[in-house]
Structure 1
Amino acid sequence: MARQKLKSHSGAAKRFHRTGTGKFKRRKAGLRHILTTKNAKRKSRLNDSVVVAKVDQTALARLLPYS
């Protein structure tokens, strides 16, 4: 009997994307509300995407098996 496909974690799929080299990228937190108290430099830094920490990559790979 054939093995069933694994399902991707829908919450993780919305938050993380795989790069061309196989690493995961994420958005930075803190840019949703209370923006008036944050200066422009801080908000500009929060706009960037960053690579997920190496220790979390394997856990994400299990959540998103086909990405």
Structure 2
Amino acid sequence: MNKIKTRRSAVKRYKKTGNNNFIRKRAYKGHLLGKKSSSRKRRLSSHTTVGNTERSTVKKFFNN
């Protein structure tokens, strides 16, 4: 039987925390930053945890 591989795109986008949560970056900070306020850009720079609905999908990508 073949080895189950980890999805490399998931490794680049998520990090696993100690309590089996995943950390991700926020969206909407890739471009068009001139019209966004400084406070909004600062908030988008921070990390957040993956929501409950998406957590099981991300867990399948890691296969650990």
Do they fold alike, i.e. is TM over 0.5? yes
Q: Which residue of 2 aligns with 1:13?
A: 11
The one of 43, 46, 49 equivalent to 1:48 is: 46
Residue 31 of structure 2 is aligned to residue 33 of structure 1 = yes
Summarize deviations over 1:1-26 as a string: whole Å, max 9, x none: xx432101111111011111110110
RMSD: 1.1
- Structure 1 residue runs without a partner (length 5+): none
Stretches of 4+ moved more than 2 A in 1?
none
Higher helix share: 2
Percent of residue pairs bearing the same amino acid type: 28
Tell me how many residue pairs correspond in the alignment.
Answer: 64
Give the alignment's TM-score, normalised by structure 1: 0.87
| Structure label with greater radius of gyration | 1
Instruction: List gaps (5 residues or longer) in structure 2.
Output: none
TM-score scaled by length of structure 2: 0.90
